């Protein structure tokens, strides 16, 4: 693994997982009034560790042609869990809107933080290349 790969890979993986988590949380919020909808979430730390181990072992699949279908990773999908409700509603829906909104905002902030770190790494590399 090259120096550049090591510099960016953790942020690349984090952004991918944060994006996936944002979609899950958005689906929870969108289905807050759907009867029998079960809120889902992912354990970000465990999923990041799983992705990192797969990348280091060289088992990660790659799309070698833009025409290939980008399928979701079944191992990542397996890491998406149902949330235990604090106070489930009578219709079986387990979405707590305030908690979902708080988790969505927290995830968005962490996504932005990863982007900020990535921008800092790129800026540092550009300065090193320019010799300043």
CA atoms of 48 and 45, how far apart (whole Å) = 5
Place of tokens 């489930």: 88
Burial of 14 (0-12, 13-18, 19+ CB in 10 A): buried
Neighbours of 27 (CB within 10 A): 15
Per-residue pLDDT of the chain (132 residues; tens, 9 = 90+): 566 776 677 888 889 999 999 999 999 999 999 999 999 999 988 898 888 887 665 555 566 777 665 555 545 556 788 988 888 789 999 999 999 999 999 999 999 999 998 898 889 888 888 876
pTM recorded for the entire structure: 0.76
Length of the chain: 132
């Amino acid at each position: 693994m090259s120096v550049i790969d090591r510099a960016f890979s953790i942020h690349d993986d984090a952004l991918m997982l944060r994006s996936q988590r944002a979609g899950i949380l958005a689906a929870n919020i969108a289905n807050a009034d759907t009867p029998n909808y079960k809120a889902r979430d992912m354990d970000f730390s465990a999923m990041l560790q799983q992705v990192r181990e797969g990348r280091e072992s060289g088992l990660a699949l790659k799309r070698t042609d833009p025409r290939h279908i980008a399928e979701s990773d079944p191992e990542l999908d397996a890491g998406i869990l149902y949330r235990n409700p604090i106070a489930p509603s009578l219709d079986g829906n387990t979405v707590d809107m305030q908690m979902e909104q708080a988790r969505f905002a927290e995830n968005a902030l962490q996504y932005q933080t990863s982007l900020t770190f990535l921008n800092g790494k790129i800026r540092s590399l550009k300065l090193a290349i320019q010799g300043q």
